[in-house]
Amino acid sequence: MQFDQLLQYVLSGLSTGAIYALIGIGFSIIYNATGIINFAQGEFVMLGGMLTLLFLDSCKLPLWAAIPCAIAVSTASGMLFERLAIRPLRQPTPINLVIITIGGSILIRGLSMLLWGKDTHAIPPFSGEEPIAVGGATILPQHIWILGITLLIIAANKFYFYHTISGKAMRACAYNRRAAGLVGIDVRRMVLFSFIISSAMGSVAGIIVAPLTMTAYDVGVMLGLKGFCAAIIGGMSSGGATVVGGLILGILESLGAGLISSGYKDAIAFIILLLILFIRPQGLFGKAQSERV
Amino acid sequence: MMKRLVVACCLMSISLLTAPVSFAAGTIKIGGLFAVTGPASFLGEPEKKTLELLVKETNDKGGINGVKLEAVIYDTTGDATKAVQLATRLIKDDKVSVIIGPSTTGESMAVIPVVEKEKIPLVSCAAGIKITDPAKHWVFKTPANDHVAAEKILNYMTSKKQKTIALLTVTDGFGASGREQLKAIASQKGFTIVADEVYGPKDTDMTAQLTKIRGIKPDAIICWGTNPGPAVITKNIKQLGIKTPLYMSHGVASKKYIELAGAEAAEGVMLPAGKLSVYDSFPKSDPQGRLLKEYDQAYKKAYGTEASTFGGYAYDAFLLISDAIKKVGSSPEQIRSGIEQTTKLVSISGIFSMSPKDHNGLDLSAFEMVKVTKGDWALLK
């Protein structure tokens, strides 16, 4: 019995952790390309879910068509956000940019509230709701979708950053913007790219969790914060470290709720965040700052 | 004769002018304090819409005793400090005769000292027992106390010989109050609480808490929260294959809950519901039946969505006030004593009978135990 419970905690933790990881990578991609933390990342997660719902309900599209449309529209809004709010800034100091992203997130949330109201909505699962038994624990088909899609996106991400010209250019911007500009990389275009990629990833995360967790205009806040935690644990790397960070966070939350007390579930995430920031600001797996320079 | 002429002239000028005109002496001002936006908006929004609907309906019919009503509604965003400021503004600047709201218990408690000092009657739309226990001279409330709903569930469980309970409550005011009441009544009635778990209002996965509960094997699970949490829990329970009977609070007594959880997962869930959600299944003789139907249809017509129990709280408040104005008069003191004298007033949440000691006026009959059957509510006998 005890083992069954433990397995269930770990499996539940893994599936929520995969989502945190996906959102966390969105944070770190933008951070690496621009040096800012995009606090509007959570809103793209919300947009993914809400737009899917819009295409399903209002345009009567089937689920397989509604999802690409939703991803396309949220990616376009990520692009617009960069063009209208980030690029025109005369003095792009990090603090200005961060404040702009916070403002942007409030704006997006407000507009969605006016557009879609304050109700919570459900999205149908991708393939049925019959629980699947794994050992003594159970998961839903949707959990497999979540894990599978997350793995796929992370693999695609890895490929992009290490095996394509524009991915390599973006990494160059992350190391040194000035030097990247000097060798002929259009840094501003790379910044736009980073917003496109991370808003697309955020919206995918929002879509694949929506059948389990439901969606509303304000789901982005908490998911965004948890994704941010994952990115911090992973030291803002846009690869495996953030994924592991997300999974660790998910499992710890679920073990904490199961074995200690459910009242401390969210506290656990934020205690980890603070500990990491105090003790290992370079992330759990990162090398010390001096070596990176 | 003269008076009638004046009223007729007033009416004519109102119909001539499209802009709303207020006559200092000719209207009764009703203040509204609702959490229209913010975390408690699921309460405040239907309350505001209901009040606006009722004021419009009443004015179209010529007002109360020929006097028109005017609603002044402010959004408190669920913030107690703001609620106090807005209550003062309603009393000092807008000179309202009575206030409906606020929507939440915290705000209501904060506003009580203001209305007691200014001697303006307040009809709160929040459920917390503290608001009217002990009874305060100027303060009333329309939702039945949380403990009435809790008692309803536990009475039903007694009849099914279920003895051990696992609690799963949300960590906001509604959940905390429900948890407190459930624990108090459960120990009085000889139940044992074997698990006492909580979850956050924005949590997206409660399998951890439920796995723990599954290991303890209680006779029943009682979940106390408002959407979307309970819907997530219902799905999680299905996922984990838990067969323990599940009870929900009256906080999810709307079709929205079944829609979110899915008819299949919600099948068999039991809860105490305000009568609005189940009026279809009432016998014809039920005194509330017709009123519930009228309200639901009028609301649907005006706003395109189903009326909710929460909007019903504002309906009750309005009915209590208009009944008091009709019978006693429209000054604040007259409205107050009029509401206090209410006997057997048929309304949405139940049948109200107030007294100087009871400023809520509802009993166990305010709720019906229902069970989700094929995506709809079915009355439990």
Q: What's A25-73 look like in SS3? A: HHHHHHHHHHCCCCCCHHHHHHHHHHHHHHHHHCCCCCHHHHHHHHHHH
Q: Rounded to two decimals, what is the model's pTM?
A: 0.80
ipTM given for this complex: 0.83
* Among B167, B199, B205, the residue to mutate for chain A (most A Cβ within 10 A): B205
Write the pLDDT tens digit of every residue in A121-141: 888 889 888 888 888 888 889
Closest B-chain CA to A13: B208
Total Cβ atoms within 10 A of residue B130 = 14
Q: Do A5 and B212 touch (CB under 8 A)?
A: yes
Which chain A positions have a beta carbon within 8 Å of B207's beta carbon?
8, 12, 254
Confidence band for A170, pLDDT divided at 50, 70 and 90: confident
For A274, B20, B260, B330, the CA distances from B96, given in Å and listed in that order, are 50, 17, 40, 11
Helix axes A240-255, A141-163, angle to 10 degrees: 150
B260 and A CB contact within 8 Å: yes
Average pLDDT, rounded, for chain A:
87
- Same topology between domain B27-145+290-363 and domain B146-280+367-379: yes
Q: Do A12 and B208 touch (CB under 8 A)?
A: yes
The answer on pLDDT for B24 being more than 60 is no
The answer on pLDDT for A186 being more than 70 is yes
Partner residue facing A263 (CB), from B171, B211, B265: B171
Half-sphere exposure of B162 (CA within 13 A, CB side): 22
For A163, B100, B140, the CA distances from B52, given in Å and listed in that order, are 62, 12, 20
Q: Do B260 and A121 touch (CB under 8 A)?
A: yes
Residue type, A187: V
Confidence band for A24, pLDDT divided at 50, 70 and 90: very high
Closest B-chain CA to A253: B208
The answer on pLDDT for A199 being more than 90 is yes
The answer on pLDDT for B16 being more than 50 is no
Total Cβ atoms within 10 A of residue A164 = 11
For B108, B116, B341, the CA distances from B140, given in Å and listed in that order, are 10, 12, 12
Total Cβ atoms within 10 A of residue A274 = 11
Write the pLDDT tens digit of every residue in B353-376: 999 999 998 888 888 899 999 988
Q: Do B262 and A209 touch (CB under 8 A)?
A: no
Residue B72: φ, ψ to 5°:
-115, 110
- DSSP code of A259? I
Sequence-separated (6 or more) residues with CB below 8 Å from residue B274: B144, B250, B253, B309, B312, B348, B349, B366, B367
Q: Do B211 and A12 touch (CB under 8 A)?
A: yes
Q: What gap in Å lies between CA A72 and CA A81, rounded to an integer? A: 14
Write the pLDDT tens digit of every residue in A247-259: 999 999 888 888 8
The answer on pLDDT for B203 being more than 80 is yes
Which chain A positions have a beta carbon within 8 Å of B45's beta carbon?
118
Q: What gap in Å lies between CA A9 and CA A226, rounded to an integer? A: 18
pLDDT value of residue B7: 58
DSSP A78-108: HHHHIIIIITT-SS--HHHHHHHHHHHHHHH
Write the pLDDT tens digit of every residue in B310-359: 899 999 999 999 999 999 999 999 999 999 999 999 999 889 999 999 99
Residue type, A101: T
- Comparing CA positions, the residue from B207, B44, B194 lying closest to residue B124 is B44
Q: Do A213 and B211 touch (CB under 8 A)?
A: no
Q: Do A213 and B205 touch (CB under 8 A)?
A: yes
- Tell me the shortest Cα–Cα distance from B155 to chain A, in angstroms: 28
Q: What gap in Å lies between CA A204 and CA A146, rounded to an integer? A: 10
Segment B232-243 mean pLDDT:
91
Residue B165: φ, ψ to 5°:
-125, 140
Beta-sheet strands, E only, within B38-153? 68-75, 98-100, 122-124, 139-141
pLDDT value of residue A58: 87
Partner residue facing A118 (CB), from B41, B260, B265: B41
Q: Which residue has the tokens 């449309």?
A: A69
- Tell me the shortest Cα–Cα distance from B10 to chain A, in angstroms: 37
Confidence band for A31, pLDDT divided at 50, 70 and 90: confident
pLDDT value of residue B339: 94
Q: Do A262 and B197 touch (CB under 8 A)?
A: yes
Q: What gap in Å lies between CA B333 and CA B328, rounded to an integer? A: 10
Domain edges within chain B: 27-145+290-363, 146-280+367-379
Segment B32-41 mean pLDDT:
87
- Tell me the shortest Cα–Cα distance from A122 to chain B, in angstroms: 5
Partner residue facing A258 (CB), from B45, B199, B208: B208
| Chains A–B, number of C-beta pairs less than 8 Å apart | 99
Which chain B positions have a beta carbon within 8 Å of A140's beta carbon?
239
Sequence-separated (6 or more) residues with CB below 8 Å from residue B120: B91, B96, B97, B98, B99, B138, B332
B76 neighbors B35 (Cβ within 8 angstroms):
yes
Write the pLDDT tens digit of every residue in A205-257: 999 999 988 899 988 988 898 999 999 888 887 678 899 999 999 999 888 88
Segment B118-124 mean pLDDT:
95
Segment A147-159 mean pLDDT:
90
Partner residue facing A120 (CB), from B171, B227, B240: B227
Domain A2-121+136-285 sits in CATH 1.10.3470: yes
Q: Do B208 and A266 touch (CB under 8 A)?
A: no
Residue type, B173: G
* Among A50, A106, A119, the residue to mutate for chain B (most B Cβ within 10 A): A119
Total Cβ atoms within 10 A of residue A30 = 29
Q: What gap in Å lies between CA B380 and CA B20, rounded to an integer? A: 48
Q: How far apart are the first and last CA of chain A?
A: 51
Q: Do B240 and A263 touch (CB under 8 A)?
A: no
In chain B, which among 31-90 make CB contacts under 8 A with chain A? Answer: 37, 41-42, 45
Q: What gap in Å lies between CA B296 and CA B303, rounded to an integer? A: 11
Which chain B positions have a beta carbon within 8 Å of A263's beta carbon?
171, 198
Q: Highest mean pLDDT: which of A263-267, A277-281, B135-139?
A: B135-139
B215 and A CB contact within 8 Å: yes
- How far out from the chain centre does Cα A276 lie? 19
The answer on pLDDT for B18 being more than 60 is no
Domain B27-145+290-363 sits in CATH 3.30.70.2340: no
Write the pLDDT tens digit of every residue in B258-293: 988 988 899 999 999 888 877 877 777 788 888 999
Domain edges within chain A: 2-121+136-285
Q: Do A9 and B208 touch (CB under 8 A)?
A: yes
Q: What gap in Å lies between CA B259 and CA A53, rounded to an integer? A: 14
Q: What gap in Å lies between CA A283 and CA A229, rounded to an integer? A: 10
Partner residue facing B240 (CB), from A138, A209, A255: A138
Which chain B positions have a beta carbon within 8 Å of A219's beta carbon?
202, 204
pLDDT value of residue B17: 45
**Which stretch of A225-234, B8-17, B47-56, B199-208 has the lowest confidence by average pLDDT?**
B8-17
Greater pLDDT, B315 or B106: B315
Q: Which residue has the tokens 């965003």?
A: B77
Domain B146-280+367-379 sits in CATH 3.30.1490.190: no
Q: Do B205 and A15 touch (CB under 8 A)?
A: yes
The answer on pLDDT for A148 being more than 80 is yes
Q: Do A138 and B239 touch (CB under 8 A)?
A: yes
Which chain A positions have a beta carbon within 8 Å of B238's beta carbon?
129, 131
Segment B102-130 mean pLDDT:
92
Closest A-chain CA to B265: A129
Nearest 10 degrees: Cα torsion A58, A64, B263, B298 = 0
Half-sphere exposure of B149 (CA within 13 A, CB side): 32
Q: Do B208 and A212 touch (CB under 8 A)?
A: no
Write the pLDDT tens digit of every residue in A62-100: 989 999 999 999 999 999 999 998 888 877 787 888 899
**Which stretch of A146-150, A258-262, B151-155 has the lowest confidence by average pLDDT?**
A258-262
Q: Do B241 and A9 touch (CB under 8 A)?
A: no
* Token duo for residue A75: 């990616």
Q: Which residue has the tokens 């009432």?
A: B282
Q: What gap in Å lies between CA A167 and CA A118, rounded to an integer? A: 39
Q: What gap in Å lies between CA B107 and CA B47, rounded to an integer? A: 15
Which chain B positions have a beta carbon within 8 Å of A139's beta carbon?
239
Q: What gap in Å lies between CA A177 and CA A150, rounded to an integer? A: 29
Length of chain A: 293
B335 neighbors B123 (Cβ within 8 angstroms):
no
